[in-house]
Amino acid sequence: MTKWVYSFGNGKADGESKMKNLLGGKGANLAEMSNLGLPVPPGFTITTEVCTYYYANGQTYPADLQKQVDDAVVMVGKLMDAKLGDTQRPLLVSVRSGARVSMPGMMDTVLNLGLNPETTEGLVKLTGNARFVYDSYRRFIQMYSGVVLGLEHADFEEIIEAEKEAKGVELDTELDADDLKKIAGLFKDVVKKKLGKPFPDDVKEQLWGAIGAVFSSWQVPRAKTYRRLNKIPEDWGTAVNVQAMVFGNRGDTSATGVAFTRDPATGEKLLYGEFLINAQGEDVVAGIRTPQAISKIVRERQGAKKPSMEEAMPSMFKELKGIGDKLEAHFCEMQDVEFTIQEGKLYMLQCRTGKRTAKAALKVAVDMVSEKLIDRNTAITRVDPAALDQLLHPTLDPNAPKEKIAEGLAASPGAAVGEVTFTADEAEKRAAEGHAVILVRTETSPEDIHGMHAAKGILTARGGMTSHAAVVARGMGRPCVAGAGALRIDPDAGTMTAGAVTVKRGDVITIDGTAGKVFKGRVPMRQPEMTDDFVTLMAWADEVRKLRVYTNADTPTDAKTARGFGAEGIGLCRTEHMFFDAERIIAVRQMILAEDRGEREKALAKLLPMQRSDFEGIFKEMSGLPVIIRLLDPPLHEFLPQKEEEFASVAAAAGVSVAKLKSKSVGLHEMNPMLGHRGCRLGVTYPEITEMQARAILEAALNMQDKGVDVHVEIMIPLVAFKTELDTLKDRIEAVAADIKKERGKLPHYKIGTMIELPRAALRAGEIAETAEFFSFGTNDLTQTTLGMSRDDAGAILAEYLTKGVITRDPFVTIDRDGVGELIKIATQRGRKTRPDITIGICGEHGGDPESILLCHESGLDYVSCSPFRVPVARLAAAQAALKAVERDV
- Catalytically active residues, by annotation: 468, 843
| 9 contact partners, CB below 8 Å, separation of at least 6 | 34, 40, 41, 42, 43, 75, 76, 79, 244
Q: Of all helices (H) and strands (E), which one includes residue 610? A: helix 597-621
Residue 530 φ then ψ, to 5°:
-80, 135
Among candidates 876, 841, 890, 882, which has minimal Cα distance to 858? 882
> Under a CB-based contact definition with an 8 Å cutoff, are residues 368 and 377 in contact?
no
Three-state SS annotation for 394-439: CEECCCCCCCEEEECEEEECCEEEEEEECCHHHHHHHHHCCCCEEE
DSSP string, 154-181: HHHHHHHHHHHHHHT-SSGGG--HHHHH
Residue 542 Cα to chain centre, angstroms: 24
> Under a CB-based contact definition with an 8 Å cutoff, are residues 26 and 350 in contact?
yes
Sheet bearing 292-293, strands edge to edge: 292-293, 272-277, 255-260, 335-342, 345-353
Residue 508 φ then ψ, to 5°:
-95, 135
Quote the DSSP letter at residue 461. S
Classify residue 741 as left (phi > 0), alpha (psi -120 to 50) or beta.
alpha
**CA pair distance 380, 545, nearest whole angstrom:** 11
Neighbours of 598 (CB within 10 A): 9
Residue 863 Cα to chain centre, angstroms: 25
**CA pair distance 574, 781, nearest whole angstrom:** 14
> Under a CB-based contact definition with an 8 Å cutoff, are residues 383 and 876 in contact?
yes
Q: Where are the alpha helices (DSSP H) in 176-254?
A: 177-195, 203-217, 221-230
**CA pair distance 90, 882, nearest whole angstrom:** 56
Classify residue 572 as left (phi > 0), alpha (psi -120 to 50) or beta.
beta
| Distances from the Cα of 850 to the Cα of 201, 384, 661, 787, 871, angstroms | 51, 9, 47, 21, 11
